[in-house]
Amino acid sequence: MATFTFPRQTAFYSGKVRDVYTIGTDTLVMIASDRISAFDVILPRPIPFKGQVLNQIAAYMLAETTSICPNWLTSTPAPNVSIGKYCTPFKVEMVVRGNLTGHSWRTYNSGSRILCGVTMPEGMKENDFFPTPIITPTTKASEGHDEDISKEEIIAQGLVTKDDWDTLEKYTLALFEKGRSLAAKRGLILADTKYEFGKIGDTIYLMDEIHTPDSSRYFYADGFNERQQTGERQKQLSKEFVREWLINNGFMGKEGQTVPEMTDEWTDTISKRYIELYENVIGEAFVPQKITDEETYQLILNKL
């Protein structure tokens, strides 16, 4: 994917997945690439149509949640492009969990019952529902790994004020409830996800993407209880299968470890899984759109 230069551009940042352009002081252009990351490492091969999948799911979910809180998005001029308001981001990510899975399960299975200052109940099995959703925030690292942090540490370190935290907490739980409701209509369970927020003046905005396979984990609802009772692995739609493949091949992003080879077949499999998630979450057939860098540039210019 090409790197662009736009009129009035004041900054450019290439993240793990997105390229972000700041226009003037009030506008962001965010291009979702086909890059894929896991354990905070960009994997060596792009995944066809992944950027389009992420961008279109995020746009759909942002539109569905405008009654809960304001968000940054103003337009999506190209399949993998979003344009919106520039916000000053909070330096934390609001991770919310409805089920004991992924990082929370790995923590629990190690014997710990505390995650980000939150006590997890005894007697839970992997993928069980928490009695109520829990918020387990992380720091938002510009480089390297995000780190677990508690609400108390966030406020004590001045990363977020107490008043702003109360708003973030309220928005996070309401967004997750909405996300779970939307998922349930599609026969899915939204197990966990993360939200990012920022401010313009005194107003807090929801930023970035929401409820996508990069930021969320979905289970199939059909047969979920039966699989829990028998100890069978849950069927899920998320990026977790990529993490599991890496772990099984000896890679967890640690020093000295090497990313295993990504074959054409495996790359195609990942692409199909992303498209499957799109179609299950949105309830519509995915329509792949291939446009050139020049066409993308012109579509963005027309909106700036």
- Of the listed ranges 42-46, 179-183, 197-201, the least confidently predicted one is 42-46
The whole-number average pLDDT for the span 77-98 is 97
The verdict on residue 251 lying in a domain is no
Question: pLDDT band at residue 141, thresholds of 50, 70 and 90?
Answer: low
* pLDDT mean over 65-81: 97
Residue 117 lies in a domain: yes
**Which helix (H) or strand (E) segment is 246 a member of?**
helix 240-248
Structural domain harbouring 132 = 89-238
Which H helix or E strand runs over 61?
Answer: helix 50-64
Q: Is the pLDDT of residue 142 over 80?
A: no
- Using DSSP, how many helices (H) and how many strands (E) does the chain show? 8, 17
Rounded to the nearest 5°, which phi and psi values hold at 63?
A: -65, -35
Query: Does any domain span residue 61?
Result: no
146: pLDDT strictly greater than 80: no
pLDDT of 144 over the 70 cut: no
Within-domain flag for 14: no
**For all residues of the chain together, what is the average pLDDT?**
94
Bridge partners for 13 per DSSP: 20
The pLDDT-based confidence of 114 (bands split at 50, 70, 90) is very high
- pLDDT tens digits, residue range 232-257? 999 888 787 898 899 999 999 888 89
Question: Percent of the chain beyond pLDDT 70?
Answer: 98
CA atoms within 13 A on the CB side of 272: 6
Q: Tell me 91's DSSP state.
A: S
Is 258 part of a structural domain of the chain?
no
**94 Cβ contact partners less than 8 Å away, ≥ 6 residues apart:** 135, 137, 168, 169, 172, 194, 195, 196, 197
Taking alpha carbons only, the member of 272, 93, 289 closest to residue 195 is 93
Establish if 268 belongs to a structural domain.
no
How many domains, the chain?
A: 1
What pLDDT is attached to residue 240? 79
Query: What confidence score (pLDDT) does residue 237 get?
Result: 80
**How many Å apart are CA 18 and CA 84, to the nearest integer?**
14
pLDDT at 7 over 70: yes
User: What is the CATH classification number for the domain harbouring 223?
Assistant: 3.30.470.20
The tokens 């579509």 sit on which residue?
Answer: 299
Q: What is the pLDDT of residue 1?
A: 76
pTM for this entry: 0.90
Per the domain annotation, does 194 fall within a domain?
Answer: yes
> Does 110 reside within a domain?
yes
Residue 137 has pLDDT above 70, yes or no: yes
Proportion of the chain above pLDDT 90, given as a percent: 86
pLDDT band at residue 207 under the 50/70/90 scheme: very high
End-to-end, the C-alpha distance of the chain in Å comes to: 20
